[in-house]
Structures are given as C-alpha cells and as structure tokens.
Amino acid sequence: MEEHADQRYEALEETVKERFSRHMKEKDALTDQEALNIIEETVFSDPSSGGLQESAELIRRLYQRMRCRTGILDPYIRDERINEIMVNGPGHIFVEMRSGITAAPEQFDSREELEDIIRNIAADVHREINEMNPILDARLPDGSRVNAVYHNVAADGPVLTIRKFSPERITIRQMITKGTLTRACADTLALLVRCGYNIFISGGTSSGKTTFLNALTDMIPENDRVIVIEDSRELMLPHIRDLVQMECHTANTLGQGQVTMDMLIRTSLRMRPDRIIVGEVRGKEVADMLQALNTGHDGSMSTGHGNSVRGMLRRLEAMYLMAARIPMDSIRGQIVEGIDVMVHLIRTAEGKRQVSEVQELVSVSGSEYVLNPLFRLNGEMKLEQTGNRIQRREKLRRAGDEDGDRL
C-alpha cells in the first residue's frame, strides 16, 4: 500500500514538473499561487485520487518539495513552538520544543533532496557548500543559526542543524518567574553590572548562556558606549543608544574575506568602548578578550562552554594557550585580573535552565583559583545566597553605590 502511494506521488510529481515547464515557456515566471493551482488541478484530476484528506496531504507534500526552498522542513521552520531542527541524514529529522526532543514523521526521499535544501539555504546567505567546502556555518536573514555538513564528511548522509532565532526577548523578570534564578541573585547581578564588574557566563550546550547574557545587558546604563562582538548576531540591546554590533565572517571560496573574533576584539579597542561584550569565546580570541578586560573596559561580559566554574577556568587557560605559549602563571594572572564574577548555568533533566552557582574570582594561589561563592544550589536544587560578601570592592566604591554595603 505504501509502495503504491510512493509510485502515485512520483507520477504526480513528474506531471507537475511537466506542467511547470510548459507554463514557464509561455510566461517568464511562475508565481507561488500559480504553482499551487497547477498542483491542485493535477492532484484532483488524477483518476486514482483518494479521499479529500489524502489529496490535501499530496498537495501539501508536492508544494513543499517543489516550491519551498526549505522543502519538508518549511512547516517546522514556521512553527514558533520549535526551537531547533536537527537532520541526521535523509531518514532522520528531530525537532526540539520546550517539552524536549522528538522525532518528526517526515523524511527526505533521497540524499540529493536534502542537499538541494542545504544548497538553497547557503545560496540565500551568499555562501556555498559542496565537496570542496563541506561545512556551512551561517546566520539566516531572520537571525536563525545554521550548521550543515556535506555527505563527504558525514558518514550517514548530510547533516543540517537549524537553531531558530526567537524575536521574543526574555527578561530577568521572566527568568525569575520561570525559576532560572532568584530575585536576590538577580538584584545582586544587576548591581554588579551597573558598577562595572566583568562577568563571565558559562554552561553546557543549550543551557541558555546567550539568553541569560542578553537579559543581563538590560542592566547596562543606557549612556554607555557598548561594542558587541559575536560569531553570529543574536544579542539585542534596544535601550543602548551608543551601540556597535559586529559579527565574524568566514572566508569565501577563494579563501578571502575572513573576519575572526580576535580581529574584531582588537579593532574594538580603537572604537573607544566603555564596555565590550563578546557573545561566546571558543579559542585563541580569549587572549585578546582578556587583554581588553585588563585595559580599563569595566562592565564587559562574555560566555563560554564549560561544565562548572572551575572547569570553565581551565578551559580559558587551554584556549589562551592556542594563541600564545606563555607561562601558566601569567595566564592565570590575566584571568583573575580580567574577570570578576563567574555565573554558571545548567539544564536539568526536565529541560529547565537554571543558575547553579555565582562565584567571585578573588585570586590565584599556586595552580588553584581562589573563589568566593555568592550563590549556589542546595541539596534540593534551589539557589541559595551564601551570605559571603564581595571581597573585591573597588568597583563598588568607585560607583558610590550604597547598596554595595549588603554585598
């Protein structure tokens, strides 16, 4: 029965293609409405036509595959409930919603169909993906992030991942309601941001680092000059009047035009920034970022992948070594001088994103960092204030903030 349905679909597809071709010989272009009319006429005039529901499904399937540049993925891209779309070869499509990750019922008819969609996406952002350039990492016009790997690299067929951009900007107040952090923690972080403490946010994949960073930027005084540097533009700072946002670019097919994060960090120092925000550090750009933090740009922020605060500090060390082979004591000294506070996020088994610890980075003793815990999870997974006071109080005093007495 299923084989018969596939044969019928293939026959209808060929008929539609022929009618499209005839139409385009008579006219310069074929509008979406004209294409839909041809598909509907072809399906309903087919002698083997089934019921209305079956015909409607055939029309939808034909239209998506033949007119939508993203093919069968189009309804998932349009569905606002879906955060991420993951395609592991032509036979496996997964989507992530708030309730978790589920397998989609659709699948691509062939590897070529999936590759056509990947090439369409690449072309829309003036990029190219093929066997010579098998990896695509780009941002769509709507802000969604796309990563694709061609079949000559992915053993089980092309891989496509789309992390959708949400136009909704989540605030700290909403995060408090959802249980991401407590009111006391939010008030403390807000004060630290206003007083110019450098804050680094760490966490695992999809733990909400960028969303949290975006919310923290609401606390930046509106008159500060802020330079934002990202791999792909995601952050939104509508209240900042003096704002510069820059994003990295990969090289073209000739190997030209690459703009890396370390290049952007270095050039940002010539723009007279009050604060520098680096969306996420992944490699040698850590060296330039720390040097920027150590040259008077108080109130700067960044994020990175790590399993804990201490784990993130070790990763920062390793990333610094990618840029320069200097003594580890010097690297640790720059980290301690450049970063004041570390915030770590986790994602629970239920999918909830939560602040698990807030630590002040006090000093370094030998090979160990001296940390001052301000907030941490208790045995019941609730965020508690430790009662510890901020030890590095210079920025509180300079800001003249009376509320600093309670920290």
Q: Residues 62, 74: one domain?
A: no
Domain termination residue (choose one: 42, 67, 92) = 67
CATH label of the domain that carries residue 250? 3.40.50.300
Q: Residues 9, 151: one domain?
A: no
What SS3 class is residue 371? Answer: strand
The whole-angstrom separation of Cα 395 and Cα 383 is: 25
Answer whether residue 407 shows pLDDT above 90.
no
Q: Tell me what pLDDT residue 140 has.
A: 79
Answer whether residue 393 shows pLDDT above 60.
yes
Lowest mean pLDDT segment, chosen from 129-133, 147-151, 214-218: 129-133
Q: Tell me what pLDDT residue 399 has.
A: 83
- Name the percent of the chain lying above pLDDT 90: 57
Q: Tell me what pLDDT residue 401 has.
A: 66
What SS3 class is residue 130? Answer: coil
Answer whether residue 64 shows pLDDT above 80.
no
The whole-angstrom separation of Cα 302 and Cα 339 is: 10
> For residue 49, what pLDDT band results from cuts at 50, 70 and 90?
low
Q: Residues 371, 303: one domain?
A: yes
Q: Tell me what pLDDT residue 353 has.
A: 92
Question: Average pLDDT for residues 62-67, to the nearest whole number?
Answer: 73
Residue 207 tokens read as: 């733990």
Helix axis angle for 309-323 and 285-293, nearest 10°, is: 110
Q: Are the C-beta atoms of 145 and 139 separated by less than 8 Å?
A: yes
Number of neighbouring beta carbons within 10 Å of residue 257: 10
The whole-angstrom separation of Cα 92 and Cα 296 is: 50
Interval 261-273: pLDDT, tens:
999 999 999 999 9
> For residue 123, what pLDDT band results from cuts at 50, 70 and 90?
confident
Question: Average pLDDT for residues 374-391, to the nearest whole number?
Answer: 95
Q: Residues 155, 182: one domain?
A: no
Answer whether residue 346 shows pLDDT above 90.
yes
Q: Residues 18, 132: one domain?
A: no
Answer whether residue 3 shows pLDDT above 50.
no
- Name the percent of the chain lying above pLDDT 70: 92
Q: Tell me what pLDDT residue 222 has.
A: 94
The whole-angstrom separation of Cα 343 and Cα 353 is: 13
Residue 233 tokens read as: 């533009």
**Mean pLDDT across the chain:** 88
Q: Tell me what pLDDT residue 5 has.
A: 54
- Give the single-character DSSP code of 72: G
CATH label of the domain that carries residue 161? 3.30.450.370
Domain termination residue (choose one: 115, 139, 166) = 166
Pick from 63-72, 155-164, 250-259 the range whose average pLDDT is largest: 155-164
The whole-angstrom separation of Cα 313 and Cα 183 is: 27
Q: Residues 46, 98: one domain?
A: no
Query: The sheet that has 368-377: what strands, in order across it?
Result: 242-247, 225-230, 275-278, 301-305, 199-203, 341-347, 353-365, 368-377, 383-385
Residue 188 tokens read as: 């403390």
Q: Residues 140, 268: one domain?
A: no
What SS3 class is residue 76? Answer: helix
Answer whether residue 6 shows pLDDT above 70.
no
3-state helix, strand, coil in the chain (%, to 5): 40, 20, 40
The whole-angstrom separation of Cα 203 and Cα 211 is: 12
Q: Tell me what pLDDT residue 370 has.
A: 98
Answer whether residue 68 shows pLDDT above 90.
no
Q: Tell me what pLDDT residue 403 has.
A: 53
Domain of 32, in residue numbers: 1-67
The whole-angstrom separation of Cα 85 and Cα 1 is: 30
The whole-angstrom separation of Cα 270 and Cα 255 is: 27
The whole-angstrom separation of Cα 111 and Cα 89 is: 7
The whole-angstrom separation of Cα 175 and Cα 193 is: 17
- Give the single-character DSSP code of 273: -
Q: Are the C-beta atoms of 300 and 281 separated by less than 8 Å?
A: no
Answer whether residue 19 shows pLDDT above 90.
no
What SS3 class is residue 326? Answer: coil
Output 362 or 25, whichever has higher pLDDT: 362
Q: Residues 134, 266: one domain?
A: no
Output 167 or 95, whichever has higher pLDDT: 95
Q: Residues 227, 288: one domain?
A: yes
**Which element (helix H / strand E) includes 97?**
strand 93-97
Q: Residues 162, 268: one domain?
A: no
Q: Tell me what pLDDT residue 40 has.
A: 82
Question: Average pLDDT for residues 78-103, to the nearest whole number?
Answer: 91
Lowest mean pLDDT segment, chosen from 67-81, 192-206, 308-322: 67-81
Answer whether residue 405 shows pLDDT above 70.
no
Answer whether residue 337 shows pLDDT above 60.
yes
No. of helices (H) and no. of strands (E), the chain: 13, 15
The whole-angstrom separation of Cα 28 and Cα 69 is: 19
Domain termination residue (choose one: 166, 188, 205) = 166
Q: List Cβ neighbours of 352 (8 Å cut-off, separation of 6 or more).
A: 178, 179, 180
Answer whether residue 135 shows pLDDT above 60.
yes
Q: Tell me what pLDDT residue 203 has.
A: 97
Interval 209-255: pLDDT, tens:
999 999 999 999 999 999 999 988 889 999 999 999 998 887 776 77
Answer whether residue 331 shows pLDDT above 80.
yes
The whole-angstrom separation of Cα 225 and Cα 206 is: 29
Q: Residues 40, 54: one domain?
A: yes
Q: Residues 242, 391: one domain?
A: yes
Overall number of domains in the chain:
3
Answer whether residue 63 shows pLDDT above 50.
yes
Output 57 or 238, whichever has higher pLDDT: 238
